[in-house]
A and B are shown apart, each in its own frame.
Chain A
Amino acid sequence: MIDDSIRQHPSDAFIEAVRARFPTEHEVDTVLTRKMRRRNGPSFQAVALDTLVDGTERLITNQVGYPVRIADARWLSGGASKLQMLFNLQWRGENADGQAQVVTPMVLRMEPAASVTESSRRREFEVIRAVEGTVPVPRAYWMDPDAQFLPYPAMVYGFATGTAKPSHDAGKVTGLGQNYGPDLRAKLAPQFIDYLARIHNLPIGTPPVLASFDRPEVGSNASVIRQVNAARRIWEEDRIEEEPVMAVVYKWLIRNAHPIDHISIVHADYRSGNFLFDEAKGEITAWLDWEGAVLGDRHQDLTYAALPIFQHYAEDGETILVSGMMPEAELYAAYEKASGLPVDPARIRYFGVFNRYLVSVLLLAASTRAARGASTHQDVLLNHVAGMGYLALSDLLSFFRSATA
């Protein structure tokens, strides 16, 4: 058994042993290793807005090749993992016209010292560029993946208009159990399905497109096992307490990983609360939070959207709506029709277990550890959502028992 203090102050030997034991994608390995090395440094210090303005100006100036100015900088709330600053960029615009004076609203998105979802700005940038034009996303402009200009890795987006929460139900934390209401739901649900189908049917291309992603092979389950290992590795690095259930489920996930039958871009956090919409028109204006995206199996997104923590009861008090949209069976049927891709019940069961395992890791390990280590600007929020951990683990246990009966 390992003393918990080794996780809060990891030795090089501990870091290397965990890396060797749970091999995963190259970029994921880089990000998780960086997280562990940071843990021996100072806890997160609040960053002044002026510091971000200065770093962002230098980043953009370096990228466009002429001096730019940032005005009207202010904090942007929303989300549980990243620091965000909204600002107006005074520059020459997309076409770099020497005479133009353009003002463009933009968002800086920067990691804190630790996060509920430790992720790569490089991958986030690449995947947004890849899906642009297929689904509505904020324009990805520039990135600082190795924190050359800013205190932590960051990227700059165009500002996307819309709201994440309907005005009648704005109190939910990060959109969990979001209830859009019957009128808005009727307009949003078909778009929710259509955009997922488009993402999954988009060809993944060849590097340099999505260059930071390891390429899965059709007919092989190696990429699925790498993903399971990434979650298991976070459990090993971050957990506060061991949970015997997690040990049982990990063995099953490795043994039962399905070969990939079609390679898709998988958003990996596709759910209510992760898109912006125009409330008056009932139109989705932007899909957000691409940081966990992978190349893999579409069933991962389908079962994630259907997780209980994103469900609520419909107005009849009986019908369960997944991601605030529709009953689970209807979601899968509508997706098959929209995408032309089959929904395989065996893979639905597998990824239903996988996503519940992952959520349990993120709540009971990553969130809890980040809050305990005073590692973020939102420790109180991460500590709060960690309180969902036992609910998530209980759901994992009962789903696992039914899936393996």
Chain B
Amino acid sequence: MNQDFETQLQVIQRALGEVVLPALGNADKHVIEQLHLSLAAIGFMQQRLPLARRYYRGTLQRYLTMANAVCARLQAKACGLEDLSAKGQATLDDPSASDADFRAAIAALRAMIAVLVETSQDTPHESALDALVMEHCEAILSEDRSWCIPLGFELRPEDLPKPDWQP
């Protein structure tokens, strides 16, 4: 069989786009629109599935960098983040870790950093922490936007820096 998922998705795309769509003729507009959007979702998966592991690993690495910077800034006040950071690093170093493991580690770091931002309100380190978070998030969001380029929402995708997960 065709083991690669790209081929599986490609045959679906061709069937839906070249056979089903033209046959719909006078169908309701929303039916046609949903088929176009389904094709767009399949196209996104076809382009991104082969890169998913690199993207998740890269995102985890960037959140670990942010977490380490936050820990350095807050020292003892970054309760819990150091442990999460150590677990995230272990996941990154584990060759058997799955994509789901990477995503779970990323989610845990994001949630803990957001809690620290919230609980830092009216403390002496609040503004420094907020600035640090915004600085690190800017780079992360640039990569996330590149990930979503196939969806077609970027006005000038060529202006985004080349992400490190892109071959």
Contact = CB atoms under 8 A, between A and B. Distances in A.
A387 B44 CA distance: 10
A404 B63 CA distance: 24
Interface SS of chain B: helix, strand, loop or mixed? Answer: helix
Query: Which interface class (under 10, 10 to 19, 20 to 34, 35 or more) fits A?
Result: 35 or more
Contacts of A401: 134
A4 B155 CA distance: 33
B148 A391 contact: yes
B4 interface: no
B75 to A, nearest CB: 19
Interface stretch (A220-228, A337-345, A375-383): A375-383
A312 B137 contact: no
Contacts of A381: 33-34, 37
Contacts of A241: 106-107, 110-111
Contacts, number: 102
Contacts of A280: none
Given A1-B111, A380-B34, A393-B141, A248 B151 contact: no
A251 B40 contact: no
B158 to A, nearest CB: 13
Contacts of A383: 37, 41
Interface string B11-46: 000000000000000001110011001101100100
B144 interface: yes
Nearest to A392: B153
Interface bracket on B: 35 or more
Given A242-B114, A244-B137, A246-B114, A384 B145 contact: no
Given A242-B111, A247-B114, A390 B148 contact: yes
B78 interface: no
Interface string A229-251: 00000000000011111111001
A249 to B, nearest CB: 9
A398 B151 CA distance: 22
B71 interface: no
Interface of B: 28-30, 33-34, 37-38, 40-41, 44, 106-108, 110-115, 117-118, 121, 130, 133-134, 137-138, 141-142, 144-145, 147-148, 151, 153-155
Given A78-B30, A390-B147, 4 more contacts: A242-B111, A378-B34, A380-B37, A397-B137
Nearest to A255: B121
A401 B118 CA distance: 18
Contact of A245 (B37, B107, B115, B134): B134
20 contacts: A78-B30, A176-B153, A242-B111, A243-B137, A244-B113, A245-B134, A248-B117, A248-B134, A311-B155, A378-B34, A380-B34, A381-B34, A384-B37, A384-B151, A387-B153, A390-B141, A391-B148, A393-B141, A394-B145, A397-B134
B121 to A, nearest CB: 6
A380 to B, nearest CB: 5
